[in-house]
């Protein structure tokens, strides 16, 4: 055993550790009241204190109190951006490998494989098929070469989903969000 020291030990502030409240998440709504994303409380605080967002209390939403030495800030469960217009700044991405693979979750749209992906034109380009979202899918090398210069019908292959242009990320988020909000009528 070490002898007791007369000097008080210095208690280090847990600067790296965050209080549990900061690990909660806040739903961000756009200026047009469309739920766009989920962010952590820390980011929400930054948006609130800089005036880029305001509390949005449309329900009996709970919130959190975040304290600093000088202030206590109430962070609601939902905030609304007061700036920008995220819906308008988004455009349908170009039809390229990266974007098509992303839309198709890096999965061959014929067999479900996630390996050796290529781009397949459903109606082959040699037969007038266009390089557009509705005519391009992710396909593995094998399916692509099996299909060759044929339509899926001619090749006896079935698409897992009808290809569509990707939706706005905020729309996709909103759909998920409202689905998750579904509650009983007496609520
Ligand atoms: Zn395949």
CA of 40 to the centre of ligand 1 (A): 38
Is residue 180 in a domain? no
CA of 116 to the centre of ligand 1 (A): 9
CA of 150 to the centre of ligand 1 (A): 15
Confidence of residue 186 (pLDDT cuts 50, 70, 90): very low
pTM: 0.55
CA of 121 to the centre of ligand 1 (A): 13
Verify that 75 and 107 share a domain, yes or no: no
Report the alpha-carbon distance of residue 61 to residue 176 in Å, rounded.
18
Report the alpha-carbon distance of residue 36 to residue 78 in Å, rounded.
11
CA of 79 to the centre of ligand 1 (A): 43
Give the mean pLDDT of 4-19.
44
Verify that 72 and 46 share a domain, yes or no: yes
Is residue 171 in a domain? no
Verify that 111 and 146 share a domain, yes or no: yes
Domain containing residue 119: CATH number: 1.10.30.50
CA of 142 to the centre of ligand 1 (A): 6
Is residue 6 in a domain? no
The answer to whether the beta carbons of residues 178 and 146 sit under 8 Å apart is: no
CA of 147 to the centre of ligand 1 (A): 10
Is residue 163 in a domain? no
Confidence of residue 58 (pLDDT cuts 50, 70, 90): low
Total domain count, the chain: 2
Verify that 102 and 77 share a domain, yes or no: no
Is the pLDDT assigned to residue 86 strictly greater than 70? Answer: no
Is the pLDDT assigned to residue 8 strictly greater than 70? Answer: no
> Rounded mean pLDDT of the chain?
81
Verify that 33 and 66 share a domain, yes or no: yes
What domain range is 72 assigned to?
21-81
Is the pLDDT assigned to residue 103 strictly greater than 50? Answer: yes
Which helix (H) or strand (E) segment is 54 a member of? strand 53-55
Verify that 73 and 45 share a domain, yes or no: yes
Report the alpha-carbon distance of residue 134 to residue 164 in Å, rounded.
5
Verify that 75 and 120 share a domain, yes or no: no
């Amino acid at each position: 055993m070490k002898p007791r020291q007369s000097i008080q030990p210095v208690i280090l502030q847990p600067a790296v550790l965050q209080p549990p409240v900061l690990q909660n998440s806040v739903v961000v709504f756009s200026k047009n009241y469309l739920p766009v994303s989920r962010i952590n409380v820390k980011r929400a605080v930054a948006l609130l204190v800089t005036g880029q967002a305001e509390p949005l209390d449309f329900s009996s939403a709970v919130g959190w109190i975040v304290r600093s030495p000088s202030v206590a800030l109430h962070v609601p469960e939902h905030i609304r951006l007061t700036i920008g217009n995220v819906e308008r700044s988004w455009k349908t991405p170009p039809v390229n490998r990266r974007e098509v693979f992303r839309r198709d979750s890096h999965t061959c749209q014929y067999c479900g494989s996630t390996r050796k992906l290529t781009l397949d034109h459903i109606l082959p380009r040699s037969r007038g098929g266009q390089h557009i979202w509705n005519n391009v899918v992710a396909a593995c090398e094998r399916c692509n070469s099996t299909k060759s210069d044929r339509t899926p019908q001619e090749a006896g292959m079935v698409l897992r989903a009808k290809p569509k242009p990707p939706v706005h990320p905020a729309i996709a988020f909103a759909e998920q969000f409202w689905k998750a909000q579904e509650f009983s009528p007496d609520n």
